[in-house]
Amino acid sequence: MDGAISAPLARRAVRRPGQNYARRYWAFAIPAGIVVITVMVFPWLFTLFMSVHDWHIGGTRSWAGLANYAHLLDDERFQTSILRTLYFTALSVAAPVVLGIAAAVCFHRNFPGRGIARTIFIMPMMATPVAVALVWTMMFHPQLGVLNYLLTSVGLPPSEWVYNAGTVIPTLVMVETWQWTPLVMLIVLGGLASLPTDPYEAAILDGANGWQMFRHITLPLVWPFVVVALVIRTIDALKAFDTIFVISGGGPGSASETINLLLYLTAFNYYDMGYASAIVVVFFLLILAITLVLLRVRQREKWL
């Protein structure tokens, strides 16, 4: 690769260093471009192609026009999964963002043991999702699980956790919050580190208390970082798969069947690739639309 790239570039590069290299530097991106075309662009085009076909693995394969998309419009299971995904997403954005801001404010202050406390705090985010999901599954066990033991030992009624259609989504949100609050914390912490100290000094002189300073100085200044965390969290919550798949499998019944779960079942249980591809396209457009709306809110930072 060394020779292949440098040879053609070498002849041109020598003369005018410094300026107008922009186009030549694109050569550096060619190998990555080939990879991206193979594993990302090609799958996208193929998905669009499949979505207008009736395409079953080991079965029929014929032109279907927009039939798959039309089917989405009267597929109640799909429409319910959208609502469920939005419900799951709203909760799994709100909880980690609020807790993450609180955590960032704590970890921004200096105290002995901060390093190790922060390391432990970010571990849920780094740990293998399937592995921690299995541990949560064991903790949710209605009879033998440690969580119900803890609840009853402080006098609260036991919960059915993921075995009840009403509690399954809040329970999954709890796991999601446990896992992803650290990411929000890190992003907001980065914001706090960049804040000026002058407004605080003035506020202390004016006799402001801690909450007033947080509400009127910290929060407005750190808001762009919060919005970044919000956008990232929304995208990830919409796409959540591993924990839901492992812990509830979309159940009980279909009570936690989000779009992503339905997509998996359609493609790899029912082998209906055409319909699955149509779901992919609509799912992607939904994520894109929500992301763009949120990005309009975002003003300053260039992250993501």
Q: Contact with another protein (CB under 8 A): which of 6, 60, 79, 164?
A: 6
10-69 positions binding another protein, by CB under 8 A: 10, 13-14, 17-18, 21-29, 31-36, 38-40, 42-44, 46-47, 50, 57
Q: Check residue 239 for interaction with another protein (CB under 8 A).
A: yes
Please state, in angstroms and rounded to a whole number, the distance separating the CA atoms of residues 229 and 51.
33
Q: Contact with another protein (CB under 8 A): which of 94, 98, 106, 217?
A: 106
Please state, in angstroms and rounded to a whole number, the distance separating the CA atoms of residues 245 and 259.
12
Q: Check residue 210 for interaction with another protein (CB under 8 A).
A: yes
Give the length of the chain: 304
Q: Contact with another protein (CB under 8 A): which of 90, 149, 270, 300?
A: 149
Q: Contact with another protein (CB under 8 A): which of 66, 70, 83, 138?
A: 138
CB of 59 vs another protein, minimal distance in Å: 13
Q: Which of 172, 156, 147 is nearest to 246 (CA)?
A: 172
109-128 positions binding another protein, by CB under 8 A: 109, 111, 115, 117-124, 126-128
Please state, in angstroms and rounded to a whole number, the distance separating the CA atoms of residues 130 and 223.
33
Q: Contact with another protein (CB under 8 A): which of 169, 183, 222, 255?
A: 183
Query: How many other β-carbons are positioned within 10 Å of the β-carbon of residue 213?
Result: 16
Q: Check residue 71 for interaction with another protein (CB under 8 A).
A: no
Please state, in angstroms and rounded to a whole number, the distance separating the CA atoms of residues 179 and 74.
35
CB of 219 vs another protein, minimal distance in Å: 17
Contact 228, 301 (CB under 8 A): yes
In DSSP terms, 272 is beta-bridged to 56
Q: Which of 172, 166, 165 is nearest to 140 (CA)?
A: 172
Query: How many other β-carbons are positioned within 10 Å of the β-carbon of residue 261?
Result: 22
> Which CB, 168 or 229, lies closer to another protein?
229
CB of 269 vs another protein, minimal distance in Å: 11
Q: Check residue 232 for interaction with another protein (CB under 8 A).
A: yes
Q: Check residue 154 for interaction with another protein (CB under 8 A).
A: no
CB of 168 vs another protein, minimal distance in Å: 18
Spatial CB neighbours of 125, under 8 Å, sequence gap ≥ 6: 179, 180, 182, 183
In three-state secondary structure terms, 272 is strand
Structure tokens at 190: 């980065």
> Which CB, 103 or 169, lies closer to another protein?
103
Q: Contact with another protein (CB under 8 A): which of 93, 101, 103, 172?
A: 103
Q: Check residue 178 for interaction with another protein (CB under 8 A).
A: yes
Please state, in angstroms and rounded to a whole number, the distance separating the CA atoms of residues 167 and 27.
53
Q: Check residue 203 for interaction with another protein (CB under 8 A).
A: no
